Amino acid sequence: MEVIIIKNERLFKMSFASVYILYIQKAEKKGRTKSEVDMIICWLTGYNQESLLLQIENNVDLKTFYTDAPTINIYAGKIKGKICGISVEDIEDPLMKNIRLLDKLIDELTKGKEMTKILRE
> 2-118 has which CATH code?
1.10.8.290
Average pLDDT for the chain = 92
- What percent of the chain is modeled with pLDDT above 90? 84
The domains of the chain are located at: 2-118
- Phi, then psi, of 34 in degrees rounded to 5: -60, -40
Q: What sign does the CA torsion over 93, 41, 101, 57 have? A: negative
Contact at 8 Å (CB) between 84 and 47? no
Q: How many helices (H) and strands (E) are present in the chain, helices listed first?
A: 7, 2
Q: Predicted confidence band at 121 (pLDDT cuts at 50, 70, 90)? A: confident
Backbone angles phi, psi at 97, to 5 degrees: -60, -45
Taking the C-alpha atoms of residue 43 and residue 59, their distance in angstroms, rounded to an integer, is 20
Given a cut of 60, whether residue 4 has pLDDT beyond it is no
Give the integer Cα–Cα distance in Å for 114 and 121.
Answer: 11
